[in-house]
Structure 1
Amino acid sequence: MSKIRSSNSIASIQRKIKEGRGQGHFSEYKPWLTVHDVPSIGIVTRILGWKSGRLHHYLSEHFELAHHYQMEWSEQVIDIREQFPLLPLDKTLYIAQKLGIKHPTDPKNKLPIIMTTDMLLTVKQEESIKFIAHSIKPSKKLTKRVVEKLQIEKEFFKDQKIEWALITERQINYNLVRNVEWLHNAKNNDKLSNHHINSLEENLYCAIQQSEKPLAKVTREQDELFGLPSGYCIQIVKYLIANRYWIVDMTHLIQPTLQSMIILENRFPMGGILF
């Protein structure tokens, strides 16, 4: 459920459908609402997705973004579609009437709006694919009216035979979120040399495993040892963790300037990565 501008006329809805809003998968998906469709007040975020390869649009405070980081890290989730529209409009109007709930309307023109769910996830389970809808709200914002709107969402997806869940702060692991945020720009880091990743991985692994110094200090020493720009080796470390070559406990907050790092498993291939 999202804040929107007064542009919910039939013509506007038809225009968005023609533009492909709410359609497609992965890089082809276009959210029903983007950061350009919301009022200037409040916090909006665009972030390049690992799984989708496109910019994701989050229209509320950082709560939705936090859950995005969790879903980016999940190996079961293969696609994230934010601001997914509940179409056709007649469907949610019918559900609202059946439940005895007032359907959301545009505050300016009083027309019924196209409702959206915060995320529609594509989830791989063994050999099958399923969809799961997530509505994301902090507990303090679950007013009676918000809960009514969530009931419409839940019933909509129930009719579609799609699992629906409400995500609050209780379902967010903030250590994991901060760790993925720290790693996020490193997964596809084109500033790193393929040669350096392959040739330095073993040295970095041994240096980190054998030292009780903070991670940042160990990697800085490796930068100096190999004549590399300051900060280069820690970027390699982030790349290796982000791509799951090095396995660490992501539920434990990584504090590179304060703590050493424990690498639970090294999956880096013999002979290095083939690029």
Structure 2
Amino acid sequence: MAKRSRTNSVDKNLKDGRGVGIGLDYKPWLKIQDVSSSGRSTRLKGITIPRQYEFLSDMERNYFYLLEFSDYVVDIREQYPLLPLEETLLIAEELGITHPRNPKTNEPIVMTTDFVVTFQDKRMRKDYARTVKSKSDLMDERVLKKFEIERVFWERHDIDWGIVTEEEINQTMALNISYVHAYQDLHNIEGFELITETQFEDLVIEYIARMMRNTDSIRKISHLFERDFDLISGSGLSIFRHLIINKIIDV
């Protein structure tokens, strides 16, 4: 049997409430400052669940964009811990695999899964665990052994687990979502700070009407709209992005 092993950092994270809760109350086990990452680490404010999310790579961030834009995703928990630590230690022992350890202290670390995603439709609500990894990294035997511990953990918890590579992430769609993601609420966007809710609704209705009654480019429609309503340059395109990210219009 694997012996109980817990470090001060694990106890601190548990005390801070990391890795527990759902929705707004969830705190990721790992944050950007905790680990070195491949690619650009990113923090984003969510829309479905309006809290700060922590991503350790570009692939994680892009996958998040796709998840959040889905009509069926109701919760996303990133950097989710496989707790208790004793369980993954036992699994590793049973599999004859060395459990991941801190390279400086050689103490066992809490393993994490990149995303635990809650899907809901008319028939069911279900959690899925997904690990995001570059296809080339799957050639590394150490990575595969770690994933085997992860797979068995989720299997024992009766939760579907899988690996997501760059081939499953639509880069173009993720990029397009990134262009509009920050425009879900325009009240913090330049040019809209002092506009009341009623005024904003009137602007949106008029903008949509102009799109529907002519075939000009969005850029031209936006330019004329800004001129007619004395708005700063870029306001029309901001409204267009707002309509897309809120799914008021389909693109």
Q: Which moved more, 1:31-40 or 1:180-189?
A: 31-40
| TM-score calculated relative to the size of structure 1 | 0.81
Tell me which amino acid in the other structure corresponds to 2:185. Answer: N
1:75 aligns with 2:71: yes
String of CA shifts for 1:7-52, please: whole Å, max 9, x gaps. Answer: x962221111111110111111111111121249863211111122
Which residue of structure 2 aligns with residue 52 of structure 1?
49
Alignment partner, residue 121 of structure 2: 125
Which residue in the other structure is 1:227 paired with? 230
Q: How far apart, in 1, do the equivalents of 2:150 and 2:84 lie? A: 13
Distance of aligned partners of 1:219 and 1:196 in 2 relative to their CA distance in 1, 3 Å threshold: farther
Contact kept, 8 Å, 1:121 with 1:133, in 2: the verdict is yes
CA deviations 1:82-108 (Å, max 9, x no partner) are 110000111111211222222111111
Contact 2:82-2:110 at 8 Å conserved across structures: yes
Q: Which residue of 1 aligns with 2:32?
A: 35
2:201 aligned partner, one-letter code: N
> Relative to total residues, which structure has the larger helix share, 1 or 2?
2
Match of 1:148 in 2: 145
Q: Which moved more, 1:145-154 or 1:196-205?
A: 196-205
Q: 1:229 to 1:80 in 2, by over 3 A?
A: same
SS at 1:131's partner residue? strand
The equivalent residue for 2:175 is 178
- Aligned partner of 1:159 in structure 2 is 156
Relative to structure 1, the CA distance from residue 144 to residue 41 in structure 2 (aligned partners, 3 Å threshold; closer, same or farther) is closer
SS in 1 for 2:187: coil
Residues 105-139 of structure 1, C-alpha deviations (whole Å, 9 max, x = no match): 11111111100000111111325321101100111
> Equivalent of 1:188, from 178, 181, 185?
185
Q: Does 1:103 align with 2:103?
A: no
Q: Answer yes or no: is the 8 Å Cα contact 1:137–1:168 preserved in 2.
A: yes
Whether contact under 8 Å (1:84, 1:116) holds in the other structure is: yes
The letter for the 2-side match of 1:65 is R
Compute the displacement of 1:140 (Å): 1.4
Q: Percent identical across equivalent pairs?
A: 34
Greater alpha carbon shift after TM alignment, 149-158 vs 187-196: 187-196
Q: Secondary structure at the match of 2:63?
A: helix
